[in-house]
Amino acid sequence: MISRFMRFSRSLSTRLLCLTAVWVTFIVTSIGYTMMLSWKFECASEMVTQVTNMRAQIYRAHIVVDPRFEDKEFQDVIVRFKSSMNMLRDYSVDTPFSYRLRQQVSDQIELIEREWGYVVLPLLQEARSNGVIVDSPSIEHFALRFSQIEQELDQERGKLLWQMRYIQMILIGLAVGSLFVIMYLLLRWVIRPTECLQDGMKKLTDGNLFSRVNLERSSLEFQRIGNGFNRMAGRLQDLVENLESKVKEKTEAVEDKNRDLAQLYEVTTYLGETHSVDDMCEGFTGLLMHFTQAKACGIWLINRENTSMELVASSDLPSSMFSRMTRQPLPLNELKDVLSADSAIRLIDLNSNLHWGSLGHGTSEAGYRDAYLMHIRNGNKPIGIFVLYYDDDRDLDLQTCRLYENFGSHLGVAIENRRLIERDQQYAVVQERNLMAQGLHDSIAQSLSFLNLQVQFLETGLKADDKAFVDDTVAQIKEGVKQSYEDVRELLLNFRERIHAESFAEAISTVVNRFENQTGLHVEVNTQRLGAELTDKQKLQVIFIMQEALANVRKHSHASLVRIDIDNADDFFICVSDNGVGIDPALLEKRKARHVGMNIMRERAERIHASVRIDRVDPSIFPSGTSVSLTIPASERCTVH
- The per-residue pLDDT for 5 is 47
Q: Using one digit for the tens of pLDDT, what is the confidence trace for 505-524?
A: 888 888 888 788 777 888 99
The rounded distance, in Å, linking the Cα atoms of 602 and 625 is 20
Q: CB within 8 A of 168, min separation 6: which ones?
A: 34
Other C-beta atoms within 10 Å of 205: how many?
9
The half-sphere exposure of 480 on its side-chain side, counting CA atoms within 13 A, is 18
The rounded distance, in Å, linking the Cα atoms of 401 and 622 is 77
Q: How confident is the model at residue 1 (pLDDT cuts 50, 70, 90)?
A: very low
The phi, psi pair for 242, rounded to 5°, reads -105, 15
Instruction: Show the beta-strand stretches assigned E in 84-202.
Output: none
Q: Report whether pLDDT(166) > 90.
A: no
- The per-residue pLDDT for 287 is 86
Q: How confident is the model at residue 487 (pLDDT cuts 50, 70, 90)?
A: low
Identity of the highest mean pLDDT range in 20-24, 223-227, 303-307, 402-406: 402-406
* Cα angle 7, 11, 17; round to 5: 125
Torsion, Cα 364 368 370 376, to 10 degrees, reads -110
Amino acid identity of 169?
M
* Cα angle 338, 342, 346; round to 5: 55
450 versus 455: which is more confidently predicted?
A: 455
- The per-residue pLDDT for 353 is 45
Long-range contacts of 37-41 (CB under 8 A, 24+ apart): 37/160, 37/163, 37/164, 37/167, 38/164, 39/96, 40/95, 40/96, 40/97, 40/156, 40/160, 41/157, 41/160, 41/161, 41/164
The rounded distance, in Å, linking the Cα atoms of 397 and 401 is 6
Q: Report whether pLDDT(340) > 90.
A: no
Q: Report whether pLDDT(566) > 70.
A: yes
The rounded distance, in Å, linking the Cα atoms of 62 and 124 is 7
The rounded distance, in Å, linking the Cα atoms of 238 and 265 is 38
- The per-residue pLDDT for 443 is 57
Q: Using one digit for the tens of pLDDT, what is the confidence trace for 595-637?
A: 556 777 888 888 888 889 888 888 888 888 899 999 998 887 7
The rounded distance, in Å, linking the Cα atoms of 373 and 344 is 6
Q: Of 582, 597, 567, 571, which is closest to residue 627 (Cα–Cα)?
A: 582
Long-range contacts of 104-113 (CB under 8 A, 24+ apart): 104/152, 105/47, 105/149, 105/152, 105/153, 108/145, 108/148, 108/149, 108/152, 109/85, 109/149, 111/145, 112/85, 112/142, 112/145, 112/146, 113/85, 113/89
Give yes or no for a contact between 578 and 622, defined as CB atoms under 8 angstroms apart: yes
| Segment 358-375 mean pLDDT | 72
Q: Report whether pLDDT(355) > 50.
A: no
Q: CB within 8 A of 132, min separation 6: which ones?
A: none
Q: CB within 8 A of 291, min separation 6: which ones?
A: 263, 267, 407
Give yes or no for a contact between 109 and 89, defined as CB atoms under 8 angstroms apart: yes
Q: Residue 587: beta bridge partners?
A: none
Give yes or no for a contact between 299 and 313, defined as CB atoms under 8 angstroms apart: yes
Cα 49 from chain centroid (whole Å):
90
* Sheet with strand 381-390: strands edge to edge: 330-331, 308-315, 296-302, 381-390, 370-378, 345-346
Q: Using one digit for the tens of pLDDT, what is the confidence trace for 116-131?
A: 878 777 878 777 777 7
255-412 carries CATH number 3.40.50.1400: no
- The per-residue pLDDT for 440 is 60
| Segment 492-505 mean pLDDT | 59
Tell me whether domains 255-412 and 499-636 share a fold: no
Give yes or no for a contact between 11 and 219, defined as CB atoms under 8 angstroms apart: yes
Q: Using one digit for the tens of pLDDT, what is the confidence trace for 211-255?
A: 788 877 777 777 788 788 888 888 887 777 777 677 777 777 777
Give burial (CB, 10 Å; 0-12/13-18/19+) of 160.
buried
Other C-beta atoms within 10 Å of 461: how many?
18
Flag the least confident range among 304-318, 329-343, 592-606.
592-606
Q: What is the CATH number assigned to the segment(s) 499-636?
A: 3.30.565.10
Other C-beta atoms within 10 Å of 40: how many?
21
Q: Report whether pLDDT(541) > 90.
A: no
- Of all helices (H) and strands (E), which one includes residue 549? helix 536-552
Quote the DSSP letter at residue 556.
I
- The per-residue pLDDT for 565 is 92
Flag the least confident range among 13-27, 36-50, 205-219.
205-219
Give yes or no for a contact between 266 and 287, defined as CB atoms under 8 angstroms apart: yes
The rounded distance, in Å, linking the Cα atoms of 246 and 237 is 13
* Sheet with strand 561-568: strands edge to edge: 522-528, 561-568, 572-578, 626-632, 611-616
Q: Using one digit for the tens of pLDDT, what is the confidence trace for 383-394?
A: 888 888 888 888
Q: Residue 345: beta bridge partners?
A: 373
The rounded distance, in Å, linking the Cα atoms of 458 and 470 is 6
| Segment 156-180 mean pLDDT | 83
Q: Report whether pLDDT(576) > 90.
A: yes
The rounded distance, in Å, linking the Cα atoms of 428 and 18 is 96
Give yes or no for a contact between 47 and 151, defined as CB atoms under 8 angstroms apart: no
Amino acid identity of 142?
F
Flag the least confident range among 202-216, 333-347, 383-397, 476-490.
476-490
- The per-residue pLDDT for 231 is 84
Q: CB within 8 A of 565, min separation 6: which ones?
A: 526, 528, 573, 574, 575, 577
Give yes or no for a contact between 87 and 50, defined as CB atoms under 8 angstroms apart: yes
| Segment 443-466 mean pLDDT | 70
Q: Tell me the Ramachandran region of residue 72: left when phi exceeds 0, alpha when psi lies from -120 to 50, beta otherwise.
A: alpha
Q: Using one digit for the tens of pLDDT, what is the confidence trace for 45-102?
A: 888 888 888 888 887 877 877 777 887 888 888 888 888 887 777 766 666 665 566 6
Q: How confident is the model at residue 349 (pLDDT cuts 50, 70, 90)?
A: low
Give yes or no for a contact between 598 and 614, defined as CB atoms under 8 angstroms apart: yes
Q: CB within 8 A of 436, min separation 6: which ones?
A: 491, 495
Q: Using one digit for the tens of pLDDT, what is the confidence trace for 181-193?
A: 888 878 877 788 8
The half-sphere exposure of 237 on its side-chain side, counting CA atoms within 13 A, is 13
Q: Report whether pLDDT(577) > 90.
A: yes
The pTM (predicted TM-score) of the whole model is 0.44
The rounded distance, in Å, linking the Cα atoms of 171 and 178 is 10
- Of all helices (H) and strands (E), which one includes residue 462? helix 446-464
Q: Can you give the residue ranges of every domain in the chain?
A: 2-194, 255-412, 499-636
Q: CB within 8 A of 77, min separation 6: which ones?
A: 57, 60, 61, 64
